[in-house]
Amino acid sequence: MIGRSAIFIPANIPSMINSAVVLHSDSIVFDLEDTIPLEEKDSARILLREAFKSLDFIREKNILIRVNNPSTAYFDEDIKEIVPLGDYPLVIPKVDLSNMSIVNEKLERIESEYKLNYQVPIAPLVETAFGVEYINQILKSSERIIAVFWGAEDFTADMGIARTPEGSELWYSRSKLTIAAHIAGVEVIDTPFTDIKNLAGLRKDAAVAKQLGFTGKAAIHPSQIDVINEVFSPSQEEIEYSLRVVKAFTEGKKEGKGVVLENGRMIDKPVVTRAKLILKKARLGMGEEE
């Protein structure tokens, strides 16, 4: 499970890898793609492999790795180093339908070559117009998919449109992604908020993402983690209301009622389902397992 927050950390900076141990994001994504200059792809890959072999905290944290574009040779070298280290989910950038089949084939080949007894999970990063348009097919294209990440910077570049602070240009694509992810039953992680000093803006953007159905949000700076975790955790008010809803519905059911009233508001099955989801999130947020 990726959870509420996933922070991206460049895999070629030892001090940042070392300090990941103290980060309290729900997940950490070590990055071999955009934050790594082309001439340092080799060193980042080797550094990450050695870190995985040596640092105990990596086995205790929820770790993902963003590999390079599957259409490049960097991807082949990435998976050769990373896949044998364990079943850490790979974030796959620039997905479209054609490279999803390449990803599946190449991962199968590596798993077979190294005789691995696990199948590496993947999380497509949707960041093109094509990716948005074909998201339903993409999510059906591999049984490895556990989540989908949304990348608005590359998407707006691909579309040739400007990003605005209120993000109205992304409403359709964001909604399309969350609905598709919901149908597929996978987590959906919103794009990072790039103005790292603007925590109020981040809070607003994360709240919109949550409202649209995102299950979490990517972070690019440690200072963003608390805000994201807070926004994506149920509030005390929501928890208390959900407890009252479940209680009222359970008692009503004993009396043979399918619909009950709680403080004058009608409670039926969809309301109870939503309340139970909030309580589940609250338990997970407090470190409890399902």
DSSP 151: -
φ/ψ of 163, rounded to 5, equals -90, 135
Structure tokens at 77: 């070298």
Least distance in angstroms from the C-beta of 84 to another protein: 16
Q: Which is nearer to another protein, 20 or 132 (CB)?
A: 20
Q: CB under 8 A: which stretch of 49-57, 143-151, 162-170, 249-257 binds another protein? A: 49-57
- The CB-of-14 to another protein minimum distance in angstroms stands at 4
- Considering only 47, 79, 145, 181, the residue that binds another protein (CB under 8 A) is 47
CA separation (Å) from 231 to 109, 130, 213, 264, 285? 41, 30, 13, 28, 12
| Minimum distance from residue 264 beta carbon to another protein (Å) | 60
Burial of residue 61, with CB atoms counted within 10 A of its CB: 0-12 exposed, 13-18 middle, 19 or more buried: middle
Residue 108 lies near another protein (rule: CB under 8 A): no
**């919901």: which residue's tokens?**
182
| Beta pairing, strands 260-262 & 265-267 | antiparallel
Binding test (CB under 8 A) with another protein, winner from 9, 23, 28, 51: 51
> If you count them, how many residues does the chain have?
290
Q: Which of 20, 72, 77, 70 is nearest to 43 (CA)?
A: 77
C-alpha R_g of the chain: 20
User: Which parts of 192-211 interact with another protein (CB under 8 A)?
Assistant: none
Nearer to another protein among residue 73 and residue 183 (C-beta): 73
Smallest distance from another protein to CB 49, Å: 7
Minimum CB distance to another protein, residue 39 (Å): 7
Q: Let me know: does 82 contact 47? Beta carbons within 8 Å.
A: no
Between 42 and 154, CB nearer to another protein: 42
Interface segment toward another protein; rule CB under 8 A; list 51-59, 66-74, 111-119, 143-151: 51-59
146 binds another protein (CB under 8 A): no
Please tell me whether residue 55 binds another protein under the rule CB under 8 A.
yes
Nearer to another protein by C-beta: 85 or 208? 85
Task: Indicate the residue among 42 and 133 with the shorter CB distance to another protein.
Answer: 42
HSE-CB at 145 with a 13 A cutoff on CA atoms is 28
- Cross-strand partners of 66: 31, 91
Closest approach, Cβ 13 to another protein, in A, equals 7
Secondary structure element (H or E) that encloses residue 253, with its range: helix 236-254
Compute the least distance from the CB of residue 56 to another protein, in Å: 11
The residues in 5-44 that bind another protein, with binding defined as CB under 8 A, are 13-15, 18, 39, 42-43
User: What one-character DSSP code corresponds to residue 144?
Assistant: T
Tokens of 23: 């980060």
* Residues of this chain that bind another protein (CB under 8 A): 13-15, 18, 39, 42-43, 46-47, 49-51, 53-55
